[in-house]
Chain A
């Protein structure tokens, strides 16, 4: 297996529930002693239902959520960062190396900026390019890679469909030349025909640009098709970790089995009832 790009070691993330005048408020354990390694160049799936902590964990890797216990390390061969205690200058550099693609392409793009300005913004904010010509060249290069029509760069996002908008958000995320990309439910809001297009695009970009993806999703069938390795989260804990094929062919944990059985089968003659997961000591709502 390739060297890990991201190494999550026994991480817990706690959020306070409200405030108390005196003493500590009760804490919510969003992530509970999670360890995982994302190999360089992999398409790594993080699967779970709402409230499983998958987004929180993804954000922690980008230093966008606090890490309460444990460590997350990023090592791409050039730099080695401890994300939890990273300094200001290093964080600025890390922002360039690690990027996020959002879920909703309608909410993620400013309606008042042209597509060119949206894609160029990270370069300008981080001061990665010196001249406008250099910025433009970089924007055009990445837009072409994301299969955007270069004539569209002068338009505003409202003129685009969901699939085209998602390609714009991808271009924006990749314009700084990151090594690590977190795609948080990046196809969940799209229709199936567009979803297939975006998934194929992400896979192509991963190969061409040598990217490592953390692919966060609730949709097991999508994860099965694009990811090399999967971690299943439930209530902040890891239920199962395995190479994708192995996980789908031979799930070990009862929760994974329930999740798999809950996917509606395309076969009308296979109308079996889904298994209901009941962890010990808990009752299903």
Chain B
């Protein structure tokens, strides 16, 4: 592989200062995204997937601590590599937010300002990130709205967010996020608040646009079905750590880690209505009582008492080419 990744995340550890002490939200996370690649980040509530995504744009709160040794490197083609965590001035971040990286949020209802028209908001960010005139920006915005399937875009652009339905708002959000032609798109649960039929339309739309614009996407969701439909590679997170990562087919068909297997067993499957739904044993521990060793060990039914997972953090071992799991090498399926 000679191509450079668009984003490289290395040893990312994120903690929050709270009244009750320092809480670790993300611990030692590594991943990269190539241009034109969709990386799915799956996890349940509290897994740290949104915190990870927000760190790429430095959108976490003031009480965030990035541990020493954490790196987020942004390689925009034709520009010098950028260490996102070392940026000091807010003015530099503004060029990244919405320029090099765009983000789509979960709540299409909350993402637009209610008192400004959709068009005003779209044109404003285009003028901020490009040297377009107002007229050019308006024309591009209308074109983008048309592209995401909003009918009568030249009339719709003068409407307010409340005049749009949920699905239309999310599509307008996508149009806005893509109009600056970002190299990288972060989609944080972009379809979770939508009805299934609208979700399907938004997923189809995003696939079309990726094929055309060739940007890298970090797609965050709790829904493995959505991941199977959109992602090239997937990383499964639990309590701030990546448990398993690899090509989406491999991870879903041959999950190596007990947590990924647990997630798949808990999922209702339409092609097998008789399969029992098996919950993952136990509850997610409080963030203040982070387990030692492998963070999943207290809920892992396959472990014997006294196993080394209780005290040692397992490395990411390669299961098959490109497919890694947080297991000691002797526990890799098929290992002697």
Please list the residues of chain A having a beta carbon within 8 angstroms of any beta carbon in chain B.
49-50, 161-164, 191-197, 199-200, 218-222, 224-225, 244-245, 248, 258-269, 271, 273-274, 276-277, 283, 285
Contact = CB atoms under 8 A, between A and B. Distances in A.
A195 B266 contact: yes
5 contacts: A248-B270, A263-B270, A264-B200, A266-B269, A274-B200
Nearest to B278: A196
The size class of the interface chain B forms with chain A is 35 or more
Contacts of B45: 162, 191
Contacts of B165: 285
Nearest to A244: B273
Nearest to B282: A193
A64 to B, nearest CB: 24
Contact of B283 (A164, A218, A244): A164
Q: Kindly list the 6 A-B residue pairs having the minimum CB-CB distance in the complex, ordered from nearest.
A: A274-B200, A264-B225, A197-B279, A193-B280, A196-B277, A191-B44
A101 B277 CA distance: 21
B200 A261 contact: yes
B195 interface: yes
Contact of A263 (B201, B207, B225, B266): B225
Nearest to B274: A225
B277 A225 contact: yes
Interface in B221-247: 222-226, 228-229
Contact of A268 (B249, B267, B278): B249
A50 B263 contact: no
A228 to B, nearest CB: 11
The DSSP consensus for interface residues of chain B is: helix
Contacts of A225: 268, 273, 277
Interface in B111-138: none
Contact of B200 (A161, A194, A262): A262
A49 B197 contact: yes
B283 A192 contact: no
B262 to A, nearest CB: 6
A264 B228 contact: yes
Contact of B201 (A194, A266, A274): A274
Interface string B268-311: 11100100111110011000000000000000000000000000
Contacts of A221: 267-270
Interface of B: 44-45, 151, 165-168, 195-201, 203-204, 207, 222-226, 228-229, 248-249, 252, 262-270, 273, 276-280, 283-284
A49 to B, nearest CB: 4
Contacts of B276: 200
B248 A268 contact: yes
Contacts of A245: 273
Given A49-B197, A50-B166, A264-B203, A191 B222 contact: yes
Contacts of A163: 283
Contacts of A258: 197
A206 to B, nearest CB: 15
A193 B199 contact: no
A273 B204 contact: yes
A266 B249 contact: no
Nearest to B284: A161
A200 B199 contact: no
A200 B270 contact: no
A274 B197 contact: yes
B168 A192 contact: no
Contacts of B266: 192-193, 195-196
A172 to B, nearest CB: 20
Contacts of B196: 49, 218-220, 259, 262-263
B224 A266 contact: yes
A265 B44 CA distance: 19
Contact of A266 (B166, B204, B267): B267
A276 B201 contact: yes
B255 to A, nearest CB: 12
A265 B225 contact: yes
Output the residue of B225, B229, B249, B276 with the most chain A CB within 10 A: B229
B297 to A, nearest CB: 16
B275 to A, nearest CB: 8
